[in-house]
């Protein structure tokens, strides 16, 4: 199965309201040899205010975001979706991509009326080299150089980890540069820690994770390096969300389960929210780090109860079916939404599109602009109707009536200036405040020029 390594550069870190500015991807074969590559940049969306810090870090000229020589966001994302579809089925893999880049990519697909689950449907699955690096740091600690930061803690940032392990010429904070660095780290892990590599690839497939949780009464679960140290515990599965089969619960076997077995659903729901709780959430479709008992580091063995006690606790939970069911119901309550957001971006996961709307969205992309509003009017889900109307306004505003154009411009101005109610991304005032806070560090002329050009971006000059 091929791999697609990808990365994004964005207007900021808000997964709801920031946008992709650059997308880079390299397709490889099973042995991580490059087969093809794709890269694209795009213009700034009219209703998005970028973070000046984000642009400074990535080296983006603010005024370049207005250049008509760049494709629009819709045009660029349509190309991305087409290329990734052509490269499917594959394992889509990045660096911290499951927590960040994929969220921005799904949001981009949603806002451009493309299917949002491309990376984990149709035979595709997803993986994350950051999670692999965490696993190597914990379970094969001597095969990779992990830099130590000023605080004395290990650093897993790609722009420091890759050079520390021999990668040179890293164009950090550039999408294609980060893709190349990610592939380098993947090759290093594959060659130096093949067991960890194969295990983590296995865990990139949801069904493998579900099978593993059912088959192994005790697993070693790692959740990263909080505080600079690997956090791992012995766990056993203790319930699943009946409304979402990828959501599983595991119990930290360093604690005695007896005091939890009789808790009702409400108390178990609250228990999930506590710091230090033995109830942990695991997403089977997000490459959780679950290693066999035999791979547990000596440090974990020393800190844990005797293996016989661990196995007895796991058996007690396995035999307590009413407890497991209550845990599953408690898990489902954690994701219940109290009320619907006023902003369509935050409604991305409300529901799947109906077959009727899915067909209309496919037609939308191949229909002349002046006819697309007819399709939008037929959409049953108002989320897609709103997004479709907004796309027409961004791309071909003359295809809309004067009254509709005025209302959309009013909505955009309100978002940029900040209005009453729920916040919808970064306002221009917030961006200016962030820009002013950066002035003290700008001792060079280039910094002042950046500030001037950013202010021109906000004014639309």
162 and 215 co-located in one domain: no
Tens digits of residue pLDDT in 133-149: 999 998 998 899 999 98
Same domain membership, residue 296 and residue 209: yes
Q: In the listed set 131, 163, 193, which residue is the last one of a domain according to the structure?
A: 193
The Cβ of residue 137 has, within 10 Å, a number of other Cβ atoms equal to: 22
Residues 22 and 142 in one domain: yes
90 is a domain residue = yes
Res 232: pLDDT = 85
User: So what's the pLDDT on residue 443?
Assistant: 63
- Which of 276 and 22 is assigned the larger pLDDT? 22
Q: What is the pLDDT of residues 163-221, one digit of tens each?
A: 999 999 878 779 999 999 999 999 999 999 999 999 999 999 999 999 999 999 999 99
More confident residue, 281 or 304: 281
- 20, part of any domain: yes
Counting the structural domains of the chain, the total is 3
Q: How far is CA 151 from CA 120, 154, 315, in A?
A: 37, 9, 41
Whether residue 449 lies inside any domain: the answer is no
Do residues 237 and 291 both lie within one domain? yes
State which of 193, 217, 240 marks the end of a domain.
193
309 with 376, same domain: the answer is no
| pLDDT interval class at 423 (50, 70, 90) | confident
Residue 447 has pLDDT above 90, yes or no: no
Domain membership flag for residue 173: yes
CATH number at residue 263: 3.30.1520.20
pLDDT at 275: 87
Both 165 and 19 in one domain: the answer is yes
pTM: 0.94
Residue 351 and residue 304 in one domain:
no
pLDDT at 459: 86
CATH code for the domain of 165: 3.30.420.10
Does 235 share its domain with 317? yes
Asked if residue 385 is part of any domain, the answer here is yes
Q: Residue 445 above 70 pLDDT?
A: no
Q: Please tell me the predicted confidence (pLDDT) of residue 460.
A: 77
3-state secondary structure the chain: CEEEEEEEEECCCCCCCCCEEEEEEEEECCCCCEEEEEEEECCCCCCCCCCHHHHHHHCCCHHHHHCCCCCCHHHHHHHHHHHHHHCCCEEEEECCHHHHHHHHHHHHHHHCCCCCCHHHCCCCEEEEHHHHHHHHHHHCCCCCCCCECCCCCECCCHHHHHHHCCCCCCCCCCHHHHHHHHHHHHHHHHHHCHHHHHHHHHCCCHHHHHHHHHHCCCEEEECCCHHHCCCEEEEEEEEECCCCCCEEEEEECCCCHHHCCCCCHHHHHHHHCCCCCCEEEEECCCCCEEEEHHHCCHHHHHHCCCHHHHHHHHHHHHCCHHHHHHHHHHHHHCCCCCCCCCCHHHHCCCCCCCHHHHHHHHHHCCCCHHHHHHHHHHCCCHHHHHHHHHHHHHHCHHHCCHHHHHHHHHHHHHHHHCCCCCCCCCCHHHHHHHHHHCHHHCCCHHHHHHHHHHHHHHHCC
Asked, for residue 445, whether it belongs to a domain, the answer is no
Tens digit of pLDDT for each residue in 373-396? Answer: 999 999 999 999 999 999 999 999
Give domain status of residue 460, yes or no. Answer: no
Regarding whether 378 and 295 lie in a shared domain, the answer is no
Same domain, 38 and 87: yes
Domain closes at, from 336, 364, 383: 336
Question: Is the residue at 254 inside a domain?
Answer: yes
Q: Note the pLDDT of residue 166.
A: 96
Domain membership of residue 371 as a residue range: 346-425
**Whether residue 133 sits in one domain with residue 6:** yes
Q: Are residues 166 and 295 in the same domain?
A: no
* pLDDT at residue 153 is higher than 90: no
């Amino acid at each position: 199965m091929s791999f697609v390594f990808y990365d994004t550069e964005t207007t900021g870190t808000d997964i709801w309201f920031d946008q992709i500015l650059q997308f880079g991807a390299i397709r490889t074969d099973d042995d991580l040899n490059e087969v093809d590559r794709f890269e694209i940049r795009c213009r700034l969306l009219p209703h998005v205010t970028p973070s000046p810090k984000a642009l400074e870090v990535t080296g983006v000229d603010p005024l370049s975001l207005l250049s008509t020589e760049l494709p629009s966001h819709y045009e660029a994302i349509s190309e991305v979706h087409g290329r990734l579809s052509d490269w499917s089925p594959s394992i889509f893999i990045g660096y911290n991509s499951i927590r960040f880049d994929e969220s921005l990519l799904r949001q981009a697909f949603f806002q451009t009326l493309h299917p949002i689950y491309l990376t984990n449907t149709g035979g595709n699955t997803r993986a994350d080299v950051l999670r692999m690096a965490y696993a190597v740091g914990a379970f094969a600690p001597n095969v990779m150089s992990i830099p130590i930061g000023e605080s004395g803690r290990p650093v897993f940032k790609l722009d420091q980890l890759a050079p520390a392990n021999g990668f040179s010429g890293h164009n950090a904070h550039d999408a294609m540069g980060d893709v190349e660095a990610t592939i380098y780290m993947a090759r290093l892990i594959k060659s130096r820690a093949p067991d960890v590599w194969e295990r983590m690839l296995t865990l990139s497939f949801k069904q493998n994770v579900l099978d593993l949780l059912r088959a192994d009464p005790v697993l070693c679960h790692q959740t990263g390096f909080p505080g600079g140290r690997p956090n791992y515990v012995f766990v056993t599965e203790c319930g699943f969300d009946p409304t979402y089969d990828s959501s599983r619960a595991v119990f930290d076997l360093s604690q005695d389960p007896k005091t939890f077995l009789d808790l009702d659903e409400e108390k178990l729901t609250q228990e999930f929210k506590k710091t230090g709780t033995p109830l942990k959430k695991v997403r089977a479709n997000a490459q959780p780090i679950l290693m066999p008992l035999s791979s547990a580091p000596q440090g974990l063995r020393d800190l844990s109860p005797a293996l016989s006690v661990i196995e007895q606790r796991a058996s007690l939970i396995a035999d307590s079916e009413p407890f497991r069911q209550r845990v599953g119901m408690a898990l489902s309550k954690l994701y219940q939404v109290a009320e619907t957001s006023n902003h369509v971006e935050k409604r991305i996961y409300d529901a799947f599109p109906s077959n009727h709307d899915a067909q209309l969205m496919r037609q939308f992309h191949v229909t002349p602009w002046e006819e697309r509003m007819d399709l939008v009017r037929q959409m049953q889900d108002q989320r897609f109707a709103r997004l479709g109307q907004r796309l027409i306004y961004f791309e071909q505003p003359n295809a809309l009536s004067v009254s509709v154009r005025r209302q959309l411009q009013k909505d955009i101005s309100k978002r940029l200036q900040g209005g009453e109610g729920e916040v919808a991304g970064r306002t221009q005032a917030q961006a200016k405040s962030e820009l002013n806070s950066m002035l003290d560090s700008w001792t060079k002329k280039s910094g002042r020029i950046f500030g001037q050009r950013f202010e021109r971006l906000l004014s639309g000059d």
